[in-house]
């Protein structure tokens, strides 16, 4: 066995440390006694208390949850349809759909944001809850489709034929055989999208209105225009929520008995 | 499964069956065309527009915006963004390789846990993490206070510098470099490294001559995944940088909100997209060339 | 219609009339017409890409023909989807439902037909016993070996007691021993229940040993349809002769004296049925029909130069060159009198012969 590369391991350790450093700072200072952001004085839950009493903040949280849920449902429905279409159809529309679906993935969010804002103003929609939901759904479709398409392509098309051969109609075949096999991937993709949309800032910034503000935009304003320690509390809570959701997303396929997990989605 | 099966899934006499799948594409494609493609088209169109006295955007056919962009100050910002994004990408590459390598080769049972550990911070809110850095690196923040306590004459500032912005970009997107590299390294045939050790002797040589070429695909993917969003980023520059460190993204944000010059903002966005398209096509051509060479 | 209710005395179990399938400008199946009798073990044999699988899928209803009709027991089913046809299929990839248990997999067809619970339990139990998988009914498919999964696929199809069963190279993924065992099993089941089997394979041994009749296909058409003996002993085309066994093809100009082979060699074949003097013709001779000793005067005889001797345990194969570019493969059993030590040296000239009846004239 070869010697372990000490330099590389050192880099890795430092890397992970730096990766978590700001998070540690935020979490730690969310419990800070004093208002200071640089000196830790003692343990206190006052900022969490302030957060729970901040009605505007709660409203922003509700807004973000709403938008994430709507984007999740909308993009998954459209994404499933697209995934099947792209894998099974042989028409020119399939290749066109493929391209259209990929472009958002390589477009910086600022471009999508600016373009979306333009479109809504052009249609006559004022930036608000509706525009935010529409924009987030649009952007999410790409992610969902990429994830699901890989899974649909893996499916053996003979499975549906076998179901029909045994007496199931095409609709029954899809319901009884294909969708159950797709379900873990759909669930993973849903949770993933929910988290992504919830945390998203740039697109939300461009397409949301003054009221109601999604949580990420509110945090941005707070950071820009008035440092408030309760941001730390909000940040910590959001972090916990995201971790929880991602953990669920990673565990779901394993619960369904699939041997590989959705980590293969990244870089694979 | 033989290839004959996959090509004989549906028939042609009753195109109904085949058409079913094509119909499924319609809702999604329609949606994307309306809410995305047409948005981009509008954006490009407004680039040639003007603003009236009240600041409202108007469509037009002037090239003023574009010529403004390619003059002095705006051009400088564009070049600066390019520089920052490139530096950030390279730094990400240098950092990600050892990390991905260690996890892939020495992670053992904990590989998946390590990757999860890597990805989790990425799902914390980007703003909050940047805010954390702001806290740590500010003049009264942890780092400088700690250095001063140690007696180090830390009269320099860390924030409001190009370094801070680039650091912020690296921090924000390095995960996108580690994951493809990790995937590439995982897939690599380990016996290649062993053969390389025989041939080259030193670990570094083996790394450079065997590992890097073999994982080229992952590196290219990572570079694309970091460079593209970094070019359009504005948060890092805004929270960690100063007025001398503005990137294209900041300009665009300004023109659409505070500065209220939508046509100029649209033109800037269009230029950004165009630059990225150029880089992407260069990248694609390079990877295609590499693939062809690998096949030889 | 199941095997229990079908009218056996009636028409063909499967009837294909002028079936064609084209994908764009590529024709995969060309004007194919076949009748398969009830209770027959019918094989479609041919190389990859010959159209046999496409034909099978057209019978099953998974592919729509470009032209032609498919009838099952006298009923035209060409426009019916798979769920409305009374056939069941064993797919090459088995296509088991991974999210369901073995029991649920096998019971799937019965459930669609709303068979009563008691009857379902009985039938599933019986079929699992038939394929020797009792006790595994609660397992999921991915816990089973390849051979076991194959048997589940078979059980899932058979439990519905179809009148016609389609099998798409079901044994291709199994290792040799298992494949041989399954061949015997399948044949036994088919005989017992009396189901019409339509069996697709590219393995000629498999087809020859199991089938009542074989359709040899190439390039979208049936070259010959007949019993295994017909196919082997009386191949009608060059393709069939070469695809099944070794052909020992000899091509030359036919004259009154016999077949003129290249290099001036004359093969005294005697009268060849249906061949005009002066025309070019190919004949084939099966390797086991060629004699190397005890030649009779009425045999077709010629000299050959030994090029190779290949020992095969029970048999030995000799390669003789009888004319420039024409080699004959001769198969002999290693009987006591055929010494295992070399009979002839390489390059030696040996007299060969065979009965004139065994000269096969090919189109």
What is the tens place of the pLDDT at every residue in A147-182? 898 888 888 889 999 999 999 988 899 899 999 989
Contact B9 C48 (CB under 8 A): no
Residues in C touching A256 (Cβ below 8 Å) = 99
Contact B12 C22 (CB under 8 A): yes
Residues in B touching A104 (Cβ below 8 Å) = 32, 36
Confidence at A262, pLDDT banded by 50, 70, 90: very low
C302 and chain A: CB distance < 8 Å anywhere? no
What integer is the mean pLDDT of B80-84? 91
Share of chain B above pLDDT 70, in %: 90
pLDDT at B141: 73
Per-residue pLDDT reduced to its tens digit, B202-237: 777 778 888 888 888 888 888 888 998 899 899 888
Name which of B18, B32, B125 is nearest A100 (Cβ-Cβ): B32
Per-residue pLDDT reduced to its tens digit, C2-44: 666 655 556 788 999 999 999 888 999 999 999 999 999 999 9
Say whether pLDDT at B123 is over 50.
yes
pLDDT at A253: 65
pLDDT at B16: 56
Q: How far is C130 from chain B (nearest CA, A)?
A: 27
pLDDT at B54: 66
Chain B to chain C, count of Cβ pairs less than 8 Å apart?
39
pLDDT at A126: 85
What integer is the mean pLDDT of A113-134? 88
**Contact, B126 vs A202, CB < 8 A?**
no
pLDDT at C4: 62
Per-residue pLDDT reduced to its tens digit, C310-340: 888 888 899 999 998 899 999 988 876 555 5
pLDDT at C5: 62
ipTM: 0.81
Confidence at B14, pLDDT banded by 50, 70, 90: very low
Q: Please state which of the ranges A210-224, B149-163, C204-218 shows the lowest mean pLDDT.
A: B149-163
Say whether pLDDT at B1 is over 70.
no
Q: Please state which of the ranges A91-95, B14-18, B125-129, B231-235 shows the lowest mean pLDDT.
A: B14-18
Say whether pLDDT at A138 is over 80.
yes
pLDDT at A267: 32
C344 and chain A: CB distance < 8 Å anywhere? no
Contact C81 A164 (CB under 8 A): yes
Residues in A touching C88 (Cβ below 8 Å) = 165-166
Name which of A81, A96, A111 is nearest B24 (Cβ-Cβ): A81
Say whether pLDDT at B72 is over 80.
no
Residues in C touching A167 (Cβ below 8 Å) = 83, 109, 112-113, 160
Per-residue pLDDT reduced to its tens digit, B56-70: 777 777 787 778 888
Mean pLDDT of chain B: 81
Q: Which chains touch A (3 or more CB pairs under 8 A)?
A: B, C
pLDDT at B225: 87
Per-residue pLDDT reduced to its tens digit, A25-79: 888 888 877 766 666 777 878 878 888 888 888 888 899 999 999 999 999 999 9
Model pTM greater than 0.90?
A: no
pLDDT at A263: 40
Say whether pLDDT at A261 is over 60.
no
Residues in A touching C109 (Cβ below 8 Å) = 166-167
pLDDT at C278: 83
Contact B18 A93 (CB under 8 A): no
B134 and chain A: CB distance < 8 Å anywhere? yes
How far are the Cα atoms of B152, B207, B210, B266 from residue B201, in angstroms, in the given order?
42, 11, 12, 55
Per-residue pLDDT reduced to its tens digit, C58-85: 999 999 999 999 999 888 999 898 988 9
Mean pLDDT of chain A: 83
pLDDT at B8: 39
C21 and chain B: CB distance < 8 Å anywhere? yes
C91 and chain A: CB distance < 8 Å anywhere? yes
Contact A119 B129 (CB under 8 A): no
pLDDT at B3: 33
pLDDT at C229: 94
DSSP string, chain A: -PPP-HHHHHHHHHHHHHHHHHHHHHHHHHTBSSS-SS----B--HHHHHHHH-HHHHHHHHHHHHHHHHHHHHHHHHHHHHHHHHHH--SHHHHHHHHHHHHHHHS-HHHHHHHHHHHHHHHTPPSSHHHHHHHHHHHHHHHHHHHHHHHHHHS-THHHHHHHHTT--HHHHIIIIIHHHHHHHHHHHHHHHHHHHHH--HHHHHH--SSSPPHHHHHHHHHHH---THHHHHHHHHHHHHHHHHHHHHHHHHHTT-SS-GGGGS--
């Amino acid at each position: 066995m070869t010697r372990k590369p000490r330099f590389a391991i050192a880099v890795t350790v430092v890397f992970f440390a730096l990766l978590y450093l700001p998070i540690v700072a935020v979490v730690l200072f969310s419990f800070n006694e004093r208002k200071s952001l640089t000196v830790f004085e003692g343990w206190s839950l006052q900022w969490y208390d302030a957060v729970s009493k901040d009605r505007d903040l709660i409203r922003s949280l509700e807004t973000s949850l709403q938008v994430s849920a709507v984007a999740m449902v909308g993009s998954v429905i459209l994404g499933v349809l697209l995934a099947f279409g792209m894998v099974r159809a042989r028409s020119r529309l399939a290749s066109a759909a493929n391209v259209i679906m990929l472009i958002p993935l390589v477009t910086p969010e600022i471009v999508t944001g600016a373009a979306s804002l333009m479109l809504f103003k052009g249609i006559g929609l004022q930036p608000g809850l509706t525009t935010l939901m529409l924009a987030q759904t649009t952007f999410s479709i790409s992610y969902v489709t990429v994830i699901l398409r890989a899974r649909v392509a893996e499916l053996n098309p003979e499975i549906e034929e076998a179901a029909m051969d045994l007496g199931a109609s095409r609709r029954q075949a899809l319901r009884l055989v294909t969708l159950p096999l797709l379900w873990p991937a759909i669930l993973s993709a849903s949770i993933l999208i929910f988290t992504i949309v919830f945390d998203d800032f740039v697109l939300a910034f461009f397409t949301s209105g003054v009221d109601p503000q999604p949580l990420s935009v509110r945090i941005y304003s707070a950071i820009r225009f008035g440092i408030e320690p309760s941001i730390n509390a909000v940040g910590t809570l959001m972090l916990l929520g995201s971790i929880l959701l991602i953990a669920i997303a990673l565990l779901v396929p394993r619960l369904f008995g699939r041997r590989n997990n959705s980590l293969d989605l990244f870089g694979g | 499964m033989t290839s004959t099966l996959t090509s004989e899934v549906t028939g042609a006499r009753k195109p109904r069956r085949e058409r079913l799948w094509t119909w499924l594409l319609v809702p999604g494609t329609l949606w994307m065309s309306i809410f995305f493609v047409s948005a981009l088209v509008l954006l490009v169109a407004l680039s040639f527009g003007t603003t009236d006295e009240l600041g409202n955007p108007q469509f037009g056919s002037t090239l003023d915006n574009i010529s403004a962009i390619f003059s002095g100050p705006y051009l400088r910002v564009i070049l600066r963004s390019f520089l920052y994004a490139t530096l950030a990408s390279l730094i990400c590459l240098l950092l990600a390789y050892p990390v991905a390598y260690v996890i892939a080769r020495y992670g053992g049972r904990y590989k998946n846990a390590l990757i999860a550990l890597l990805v989790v911070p990425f799902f914390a809110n980007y703003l909050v993490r940047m805010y954390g850095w702001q806290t740590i690196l500010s003049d009264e923040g942890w780092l400088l206070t700690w250095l001063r306590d140690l007696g180090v004459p830390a009269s320099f500032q860390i924030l409001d510098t190009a370094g801070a912005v680039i650091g912020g970009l690296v921090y924000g997107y390095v995960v996108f470099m580690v994951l493809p590299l990790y995937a590439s390294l995982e897939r690599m045939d380990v016996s290649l490294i062993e053969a390389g050790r025989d041939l080259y002797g030193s670990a570094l040589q083996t790394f450079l001559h065997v590992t890097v070429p073999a994982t080229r695909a992952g590196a290219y993917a990572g570079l694309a995944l970091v460079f593209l969003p970094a070019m359009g980023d504005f948060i890092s520059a805004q929270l960690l940088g100063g007025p001398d460190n503005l990137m294209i993204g900041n300009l665009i944000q300004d023109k659409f909100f505070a500065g209220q010059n939508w046509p100029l903002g649209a033109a800037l966005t269009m230029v950004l997209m165009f630059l990225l398209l150029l880089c992407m096509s260069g990248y694609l051509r390079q990877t295609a060339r590499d693939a062809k060479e690998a096949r030889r | 219609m199941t095997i229990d209710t079908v009218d056996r005395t009636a028409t063909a179990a499967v009837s294909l009339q002028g079936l064609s399938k084209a994908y764009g400008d590529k024709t995969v199946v060309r004007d194919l017409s076949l009748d398969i009798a009830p209770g027959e073990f019918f094989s479609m044999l041919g190389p990859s890409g010959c159209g046999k699988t496409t034909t099978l899928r057209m019978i099953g209803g998974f592919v729509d023909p470009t032209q032609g009709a498919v009838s099952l027991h006298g009923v035209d089913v060409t426009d019916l989807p798979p769920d409305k046809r009374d056939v069941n299929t064993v797919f090459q990839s088995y296509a088991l439902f991974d999210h369901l248990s073995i029991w649920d997999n096998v019971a799937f067809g019965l459930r669609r037909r709303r068979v009563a619970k008691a009857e379902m339990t009985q039938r599933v139990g019986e079929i699992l016993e038939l394929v020797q998988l009792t006790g595994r009914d609660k397992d999921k498919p991915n816990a089973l070996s390849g051979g076991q999964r194959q048997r589940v696929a078979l059980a899932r199809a058979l439990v519905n007691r179809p009148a016609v069963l389609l099998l798409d190279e079901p044994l291709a993924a199994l290792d040799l021993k298992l494949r041989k065992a399954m061949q015997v099993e399948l044949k036994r089941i088919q005989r017992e229940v009396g189901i019409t089997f339509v069996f697709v394979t590219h393995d000629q041994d498999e087809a020859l040993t199991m089938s009542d009749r074989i359709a040899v296909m190439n390039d979208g058409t049936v070259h010959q349809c007949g019993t295994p003996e017909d196919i082997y002993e009386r191949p009608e085309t060059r393709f069939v002769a070469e695809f099944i066994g070794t052909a020992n093809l000899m091509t030359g100009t036919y004259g009154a004296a016999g077949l003129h082979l290249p290099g001036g060699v004359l093969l005294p074949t005697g009268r060849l049925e249906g061949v005009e003097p002066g025309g070019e013709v190919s004949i084939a001779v099966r390797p086991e029909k060629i004699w190397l000793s005890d030649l009779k005067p009425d045999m077709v005889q010629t000299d050959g130069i030994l090029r190779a001797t290949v020992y095969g345990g029970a048999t030995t194969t000799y390669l003789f060159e009888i004319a420039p570019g024409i080699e004959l493969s001769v198969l002999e059993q290693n009987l006591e009198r055929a010494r295992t030590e070399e009979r002839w040296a390489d390059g030696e000239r040996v007299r060969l012969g065979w009965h004139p009846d065994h000269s096969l004239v090919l189109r």
